[in-house]
Structure 1
């Protein structure tokens, strides 16, 4: 909100430019490494064992070690505001040679703390990925083959495979950049023969697939929620499951579309333009499956369903602009403009955060044993949905008109002022939208109506246990005898525990 407050007027008149640089760098870093990844991993840690019929994750101690690295990352990032020179100011991507400058001359500076935090976060996520993959492969309940797993589990499985293969590149790049900054190596320092573009390859080889690491679990959430509140089986279950694996596979050959203007040869531009466009095929399969699931269903528009539908609508828009950006001519034209910022935030907030809210409302009764207040949830949705579109939609015409991103001031053109004013007002509304959410969650958790074990009449192993579940989830591990999402079908999900 402070960033948008600065951009409310053309002049840089709210905060100092260096403070602004630090704030937008830390905004991207904190939202990714301290909100998006930990929230999704926490939700997956809670749901995956329940959904596959396991009592816990495969390696609880490894899980705990990975978790306690997250507060360390947070302390490092936040403490950088209080050291001489302030936090890192090179953006959340930390491109050299900007990121290897050290104007304070201090060994401990904001960029060093940033790199330490990213490296530790990388190690934490790799440990978590090992745990998830092992749990899903080895700890499924009897009878639960891969094509009896819920789509959320498929999505987490696909995302964590990306983590295992992609994250070592970013972690290695961060360590190499840290060595350039502290001990005088020259991996990326052009003044000493290093190659700064090499870091971009290290960074984007993981950091674009990281978008799929983030959004695949959200796709899984949509696939869990739409059948429940439409009272229909998920359309094309097996194809939707395989599409997650297809996204994971293709994610490893798309990163260069971030580098079209980094001296990339023509043949490489064309190749990665085509591979990036191909991602729309498995994602399109999911969208069509969700629409087909909803179509003709007995739809219940409670808070979880409205957030999921809102996230789906904004994802379709983000997907359209994503296909535009995959095209070399379009990307070169809008590179480094607010068009890219608008697209990215429709993915990260319009889809991911709306999907997270949907998940929280959907599984809140299971987690807490309490029902939330529906009226407050609807108020939260409408404030968030309107605020998101007011905030991020104006960034697209701004980018097409040539406004650069990462600036605290801009030319006083009427069209720039108009769209920035709308975007800033939307950001303030988006900030206000969190208040009814916080009130609802706290009040409902403390004083809400007690929830039954299955308030939504959903089909899934997590709805067969108490709310909240026992410490080890299941007294007796169930045996799975049918596919998930059996709405309108007669066969049960699990075998009777005491057959006669």
Structure 2
């Protein structure tokens, strides 16, 4: 392999980097020179640890916060079960009952399940793939603060006596202003939207980290199986969460601005909300299940002592399940009057998804047969997962049949199925994973004896509580009822469910006691206490802040089992890359996304307050919108902009190549390459933006198809400006392509000029689109409102491009960009292509809509 890849004339090639001394602006922060390796990676002391962006600190924050939300949701569930303990109970009034089950579901789905998985991903990915940190540490920290602030907004609704009461799915029209007055629905919509920013930022973080920072030799087929699960879930989040974000924004706009997106009288359709919600909601079930199953696939071989059976089949099943999950969102809408052909197709898709699920389960069962399992506490939770989730899957196949679904719809049978799938498919693996990885957090082992009590209490309590709900559902008990009459066959079953719920809660209470107890008296965990095969156990718990003193080459899927050179000597003495640190900066290796071979040295940020500042600005913006203090919205937006600007302003690192201490390789720092982490991260961002735009486009096409009369009555956009927008869109795409070419060839003045020209064209495009929409009254019909929503979305992404171009130009003007660094222009060119395509599609839609019939 040559020192630096040569230029073959393609955009994706690495730009040749100069052999030169690093300029003054590119060196370590003041005071870092001369520090030892541990000091460079040390966390800030005292309260300043808040500014830490370390993946292990941020991952722990996600896990602890998510578990606290889990406990809060559990208390709400116990109160609900107490209300249903006996017939005609008056323990809770109907409104309070509605608030509690709404907040229970909301917290479990939005503030517990996904954030807990993000916490495991943020914490484990660098450790398992041989990296020193995530490639975008500040993005992970920013996501956490958004999640925390969003959760606080949702829970603060209780302080204002405005807790949401419309169910965790917030169906319209019940959640519109006509039926839900006050701010209860607004707390839900605004808080959840802010929290979901954490999910989509985590998706970008996970995709870029797994693809671009693996240890040398770790090809895609040598990755730990958990990385495949995380990667699939991240791509699913990038596609599935935008419909919910768009739906929430549209519903909040209807409540706040009276725009008629879901108003039947003005051509809206309440089912549009259900489509947007379940485009997110059903894939979310698999987003929750897949990483949990990945934890099982990681832990199971450890306690069997054999590699996972059928690694390739499991990977194929993961990808297949991720793909199929987007084809069955209307599984939840069989009773809404969909056409029979649609019911047939969605029923078939709902049944088909059982195939890749079964493949994974059979891989787990086959692994169990390879050896004699050790019945540790994590292994018990794995067995509990297999039993409970399989039962939930069987009832899922039953509900995939339309005739049965119509009978069981909105009954407690569905409640039982949902909890068997989600608690069996996530909570049990999560507790097993907590017992398995807790030594990384505390350096001590939790009690095996108390752990067995935890498992059996949870297992027995869960099955007693939720198996009975199958029977109450089959006896006709509807969900979301606050009380029920006596002597109709529901009372004893409900009493047993309530008893089971409290037994389950007792198991969780024992876990909490054991967790705090073990930190004082728990057995110290030595190096690799479970005898695992993956790299996170290379160092003795808890690992040092840098994860790996030197990044080793990986030659096996189970490196700690198959590479004795990693375990025969102290971890700090293991040979590998980047042992030397001449620049006194936090660094890790960047790799080719496919082969895993090193292509660059990645510079990682030191602790910074900018992620917290940016998230605080967004929180002020969202809270001020909720409170109706609109001048404060501007203040929040300004704070967020200042935070983001400071975040990305720091001088870019040079492309100076140096020896990494591995097989004579010399690699550039932050290479200008389409295989780089920045470009892969931009691809993930563009995927999210495309999904946001596609959700708006879907809304327009849906209303055009289901409400043709209203669409026909909508005022027409001006065709001349639509034609001008179409032409400007073509020019913008061409300029974006030329910008990328110039940046890839290190023609920085050319790419900078093209950037500014692109921003000018996009500004003109925003003007022509606004003029095209000017005759259209957004309050006249839902179709018109969606058209304006598309225009507003494009104005926002055009504004980002304009800010980006001016930002790049300013950095060049003040000398904050190394003369060889064309990466900012290259990234803007890629972003401009996606934005231009959106503009072309929108202009074409305006042109078609403006054509007289």
TM-score band by shorter chain is over 0.9
Q: CA deviation at 1:77?
A: 1.2
Which secondary structure does the structure 2 equivalent of 1:99 belong to? coil
Alpha-carbon distance, 1:447 to partner: 2.9
Measure how far apart 1:404 and its partner are.
0.2
Structure 1: how far apart are the matches of 2:565 and 2:430?
A: 26
The residue number in structure 2 matching 1:20 is: 97
Q: Does 1:92 align with 2:150?
A: no
CA contact (8 A) 1:100 1:189 kept: no
| Residue 7 (structure 1) aligned with residue 92 (structure 2) | no
SS, match of residue 338 in structure 2: coil
Distance 2:330 2:539 in 1: 46
State the Cα deviation string for residues 270-300 of structure 1 (Å, max 9, x = none): 0011111111111101111101101141211
8 Å contact kept, 1:479–1:494? no
1:336 to 394, 400, 410: 410
Number of the residue aligned with 1:301: 375
Distance 1:484 1:201 in 2: 43
Aligned counterpart, 1:377: 451
Contact 1:460-1:493 within 8 A present in 2 as well = no
After superposition, residues 109-124 of structure 1 pair within 5 angstroms as 109-124=183-198
Q: Any residues of structure 2 matched to 1:53-452 within 5 Å, and which?
A: 53-84=130-161, 86-101=162-177, 105-106=181-182, 109-452=183-526
Determine if contact 1:209/1:252 at 8 Å carries over to the other structure: yes
* C-alpha separation in 1, matches of 2:229 and 2:179: 44
**Cα offset, 1:194, TM superposition:** 1.5
Separation in 2 of the partners of 1:187 and 1:58?
40
Going from structure 1 to structure 2, the CA distance change for 1:135 and 1:493 (only over 3 Å counts) comes to farther
Contact 1:227/1:485 (8 A) holds in 2:
no
1:195-229 CA-to-partner distances (Å, cap 9, x unmatched) read: 10000000000111001111101110110111111
Q: Any unmatched runs of 5+ in structure 2?
A: 1-77, 568-573, 577-661, 663-853
Relative to 1, partners in 2 of residues 1:491 and 1:75: Cα closer, same or farther, differing over 3 Å? closer
| Preserved contact between residue 392 and residue 421 of structure 2 (Cα < 8 Å) | yes
Give the TM-score normalised by the residue count of structure 1.
Answer: 0.96
**SS at 1:415's partner residue?**
coil
Contact 2:465 2:498 (C-alpha < 8 Å) held by counterparts: yes
Residues 336 and 140 of structure 1: CA distance in aligned 2, closer, same or farther (over 3 Å): same
* CA distance in 1: counterparts of 2:509 and 2:563, whole angstroms: 43
State the shift of 1:368 in Å. Answer: 1.6
* Aligned residues of 2:143 and 2:201 also touching (Cα < 8 A): yes
Q: Which residue, out of 452, 471, 480, partners 2:554?
A: 480
Verify the 8 A CA contact 2:334 2:402 in the aligned structure 1. yes
Residue of structure 2 in register with 1:30 after alignment:
107
For residues 352 and 88 of structure 2, the distance between their equivalents in structure 1, rounded to whole angstroms, comes to: 42
Q: Distance in 1 between matches of 2:129 and 2:337?
A: 47
Rounded to whole Å, the distance in 2 between the matches of 1:247 and 1:296 is: 26
2:538–2:560 contact (8 Å) kept in structure 1: no
Tell whether the 8 Å contact from 2:538 to 2:566 is kept in structure 1 after alignment.
no
The change in CA–CA distance for 1:485 and 1:53 in structure 2 (over 3 A counts) is closer
Separation in structure 2 between the aligned mates of residue 296 and residue 127 of structure 1, nearest angstrom: 39
Report the alpha carbon displacement of residue 466 of structure 1 after superposing the two structures with TM. 2.6
Show structure 1 runs of 5+ residues with no match. Answer: none
Mapped to 1, the partners of 2:144 and 2:496 lie a distance apart of 39
Which residue pairs with 1:497 in the alignment?
575
C-alpha displacement of 1:182:
1.4
Indicate the structure (1 or 2) with the bigger Cα radius of gyration: 2
Question: Taking structure 2 as the reference length, what is the TM-score of the superposition?
Answer: 0.57
Q: Structure 2: how far apart are the matches of 1:20 and 1:58?
A: 45
| Offset, 1:494 | 6.2
- Seen in structure 2, the aligned counterparts of structure 1 residues 436 and 83 have a Cα distance that, compared at 3 Å, is same
8 Å Cα contact 1:230/1:299 also seen in 2: yes
Within the alignment, does 1:44 sit opposite 2:118 as a pair? no
Matches of 1:136 and 1:28, distance apart in 2: 31
Mapped partners of 2:407, 2:247: distance in 1: 29
Are the aligned partners of 1:481 and 1:492 in contact in 2 as well (CA < 8 Å)? no
Deviation of the 1:192 alpha carbon:
3.7
| Separation (CA, whole Å) in 1 of partners of 2:559 and 2:363 | 13
- Matched residues in 2 for 1:376 and 1:176: separation? 49
The change in CA–CA distance for 1:236 and 1:493 in structure 2 (over 3 A counts) is farther
Instruction: Give the whole-Å Cα distance in 2 for the aligned partners of 1:64 and 1:318.
Output: 35
How far apart are the structure 2 equivalents of 1:216 and 1:485?
Answer: 24
> Is contact 2:151–2:195 with CA below 8 Å preserved after alignment?
no
RMSD: 1.8
Residue by residue over 1:112-131, the C-alpha shift from the partner in whole angstroms, topping out at 9 and shown as x without a partner, is: 01000121122221111011
Give the Cα–Cα distance (whole angstroms) in 1 for the partners of residues 486 and 326 of structure 2: 42
Residue 104 of structure 1 deviates from its aligned partner by 7.5
How many residue pairs match? The answer is: 495
Return the offset for 1:351: 2.4
Contact 2:535/2:560 (8 A) holds in 1: no
